[in-house]
Amino acid sequence: MDDSYRDGYKEGVIFLFYQEGKILIEYRPTEDGGTETFIPNGTIEETDKAADDRDYVLTALHREVAEEFAGAVTVTDLDYLCEHKVEDPPLWFQAYVVTGWEGDLPDHTVEDGEQYAELEWVPLAEYEKHLSFSSARATCLALESYLDKHPEL
């Protein structure tokens, strides 16, 4: 599958699951046997742009959630948070907060049919302890601003 690019940046979508003051993070394995911590995300593909019924970024988000969680979760409520460009490697993320879903979130993500990254709920207030990538931190800052405007969450 061909990845989607915009102005020289590979396009991606971040789906930040939020519930009761906590966010869902993933610990992806590295080649040296360690882990890197991310907010679940995925690459936007050119085929996502073929869907006529909705924004291609949302098409990619729903496809990626289905892939990462092996079809166990369907997003029912989400809101746009922000966009964030990363220079190295060149990535352009669109970030969403997911506040409603059907199904049970598993304890790991799936890649190519195999268990891939462990998942953990952590307090939003502690995101800086867990997340070092600028895209993840920008997304958490955007979520904090969003929650200021939506105290019911």
Please report, to the nearest 10 degrees, the dihedral formed by the alpha carbons of residues 95, 100, 106, 109 taken in order. Answer: -20
Model confidence band, residue 115 (pLDDT cutoffs 50, 70, 90): very high
- Between CA 108 and CA 140 the distance in angstroms is 21
pTM to 2 decimals? 0.94
Sequence spans of domains, the chain: 5-149
Place of tokens 């352009």: 92
Which whole-number Å values give the CA distances from 103 to 42, 75, 98, in the listed order? 20, 9, 13
pLDDT for residue 52: 65
Q: What is the mean pLDDT of the chain?
A: 95
Model confidence band, residue 40 (pLDDT cutoffs 50, 70, 90): very high
* Share of residues in the chain with pLDDT > 70 (%): 97
Q: Decide yes or no: CATH 3.90.79.10 for domain 5-149.
A: yes
DSSP H or E segment with residue 128: helix 127-130
Model confidence band, residue 136 (pLDDT cutoffs 50, 70, 90): very high
Averaged pLDDT for residues 109-122 = 94
pLDDT for residue 152: 87
* Share of residues in the chain with pLDDT > 90 (%): 91
DSSP H or E segment with residue 21: none
Which whole-number Å values give the CA distances from 93 to 21, 86, 102, 112, 152, in the listed order? 23, 8, 24, 22, 27
**pLDDT tens-digit profile of 51-110?**
666 699 999 999 999 999 999 999 999 999 999 999 999 999 999 999 999 999 999 999
Asked if the model's pLDDT at residue 1 lies above 90, the reply is: no
